[in-house]
Amino acid sequence: MPLFKEELRSFIRSMLDEDIGRGDITTLATIPADATLKAEMNARETMVIAGIDIAEKIIHTVDPAIKVEIMAQDGIEVTAGNVIMTLDGNARNILTAERSALNLLQHLSGIATLTKTYVKEIEHTQCRLLDTRKTIPTYRKLAKYASKMGGAMNHRMRLDDGILIKDNHIASVGSVKAAVIAAKNYGSDASTIGITVECDTLDQALDAVNAGADRLLLDNMTNDMLSEAVTKYKGKVKLEASGGVTLETIKSIAETGVDYISVGRITQSAPAVDIGLDYKV
């Protein structure tokens, strides 16, 4: 589970408050209080599941008595027509919980599904796909959990998770060397978590290696530049390619020999997958 118990409880309560407001007046007006129904959540396209246990907890927050059976676990790829969850219980409560549970499951499964598509393009190499901090605010833990379900490797969760010296840091202090020295002198964190330097050019990469960086983020470099960096520095420092990576380009980037490729769009731009809740007579 990507959230701690209290985090999850607060998140679900907030989600339900947002959707339900003072009450589901359409359901209250049209559905008898004692009516029951059975329903299935169905995949309407091929997808990787992420968030199924949270969807169940959303439903049980509305009504603990609803019988829920999970048919597909997180990280599993299913095809169109697969049943991923069944529900049986009070009709009003199932209808009230439906949208919040589906929204969460569709969004997280969308991230996992897009991530898996990228992972498949590079699985013949030793390169690993990384996610980034490009996430919807307050959804970071969930988004990174979903990308992990799709096969990515989680990168920095927060700014305190790693030292990443970027172009603006370098511009502010005057040079790559000055930035790395300052990071090394900051405290014990530098030696524990390592120092990554964003490099736009091979000259910056050389400066970073000479200054003692542990990892190079090779930003928007051509494949020829990446290959040269691999030839010169692989084994000395970890090499991460980033910047404008697409499904059409990730394979050739991975084949240069870099250790990692980070892709912001897997958490920033993943479309929701199509999951339907179909009622059984």
From the candidates 131, 219, 240, 259, give the one annotated as an active-site residue: 219
The CA distance from 141 to 2, in Å, is 6
Catalytic site includes residue 92: no
From the candidates 74, 98, 198, 214, give the one annotated as an active-site residue: 198
Burial 218-228 (b: 16+ CB within 10 A, else e): bbebeeebbee
Catalytic site includes residue 198: yes
From the candidates 134, 177, 232, 251, give the one annotated as an active-site residue: 134
From the candidates 38, 120, 140, 166, give the one annotated as an active-site residue: 166
From the candidates 99, 120, 184, 238, give the one annotated as an active-site residue: 99
Place of tokens 């900051």: 186
Catalytic site includes residue 219: yes
Catalytic site includes residue 38: no
List CB contacts of 262: < 8 A, sequence separation 6 or more: 129, 130, 131, 132, 155, 217, 240, 241, 242, 245
Helix (H, G, I), strand (E, B) or coil at 204: helix
Angle at 68 between CA 66 and CA 70, to 5 degrees: 170
The CA distance from 15 to 5, in Å, is 15
Cβ atoms of 52 and 73 closer than 8 Å: yes
Name the residues annotated as catalytic: 99, 134, 166, 198, 219
